[in-house]
Amino acid sequence: MRKLCPNLDNQDGLATVLEVPIPEEMFTSMGSSAELQWANLRSSMKAHLSSGSNNEFMALLKLVGCPLIPLQVHCDNALSRPIKDCSIEASTAHYIVQQYVAATGGLAALNSVNSMCAVGEVKMVGSEMHQGDNDSVHVQSKGNGEVGGFVLWQKDPDLWYLELFVSGFKVSAGSDGKVAWNQSGSQPCHANKGLPRPLRRFFQGLDPRRTANLFLDAVCTGEKSINKEECFILKLETPTEILQSQSTPQTEIVHHTIWGYFSQRTGLLIQFEDSKLVKMRSRNDNVFWETTMETVIGDYRYVDGINIAHAGKTSALLYRYGHAYNQKRRIEETWKIDEVDFNIRGLSTDCFLPPADLKREDGGGDQ
For the segment 240-254, what is each residue's pLDDT rounded down to a tens digit? Answer: 999 999 999 899 999
> Is pLDDT of 9 > 80?
no
Cα separation, 88 vs 124, whole angstroms = 41
Q: How confident is the model at residue 84 (pLDDT cuts 50, 70, 90)?
A: confident
Higher pLDDT: 256 or 190? It is 256
DSSP state of 147: E
Q: What is the mean pLDDT of residues 333-350?
A: 95
Cα separation, 342 vs 137, whole angstroms = 39
Q: What's the chain's average pLDDT?
A: 85
DSSP state of 68: B
Question: By mean pLDDT, which of 5-9, 125-129, 350-354 is the weakest?
Answer: 5-9
> Is pLDDT of 166 > 80?
yes
DSSP state of 359: B
Tens of pLDDT, residues 292-336: 999 999 999 999 999 999 999 999 999 999 877 889 999 999 999
Largest CA distance in the chain: 71
* Residue ranges of domains in the chain: 56-352
- The gap from C-alpha 46 to its chain's centroid, in whole angstroms, comes to 26
The segment with the largest mean pLDDT, out of 7-11, 67-71, 181-185, 351-355, is 67-71
- The gap from C-alpha 98 to its chain's centroid, in whole angstroms, comes to 24
Cα separation, 243 vs 253, whole angstroms = 6
Please tell me the pTM assigned to this model: 0.86
> Is pLDDT of 267 > 80?
yes
Q: How confident is the model at residue 364 (pLDDT cuts 50, 70, 90)?
A: very low
What percent of the chain lies above the pLDDT cut of 70?
78
- Residue among 276, 310, 277 at smallest CA distance from 293: 276
According to CATH, what is the number of the domain 56-352? Answer: 2.50.20
User: Is the Cβ–Cβ distance between 304 and 80 less than 8 Å?
Assistant: no
Cα separation, 20 vs 172, whole angstroms = 11
Higher pLDDT: 328 or 31? It is 328
DSSP letters, 151-186, are: EEEEETTTEEEEEEEETTEEEEEEEESS-EEEEETT
Radius of gyration for the chain, computed over Cα atoms and rounded to the nearest angstrom? 21
pLDDT of res. 86: 86
User: Is the Cβ–Cβ distance between 27 and 6 less than 8 Å?
Assistant: no
- Residue 187, classified by CB atoms within 10 Å of its CB into exposed (0-12), middle (13-18) or buried (19+), is middle
Cβ neighbours for 17, distance < 8 A, ≥ 6 positions apart: 3, 4, 5
Q: In the chain, how many H helices and how many E strands?
A: 6, 16
C-alpha distances (whole Å) from 276 to each of 82, 284, 289 are 29, 23, 8
Q: Give the type of residue at 323.
A: H
Cα separation, 224 vs 266, whole angstroms = 15
User: Is the Cβ–Cβ distance between 4 and 17 less than 8 Å?
Assistant: yes
- Residue among 81, 89, 79, 105 at smallest CA distance from 233: 89
Tens of pLDDT, residues 190-217: 899 988 999 999 999 999 999 999 999 9
User: Is the Cβ–Cβ distance between 249 and 362 less than 8 Å?
Assistant: yes
> Is pLDDT of 365 > 90?
no
pLDDT of res. 52: 46
Higher pLDDT: 75 or 223? It is 223
Cα separation, 147 vs 58, whole angstroms = 14
Q: Which residues pair with 333 in a beta bridge?
A: 124, 314
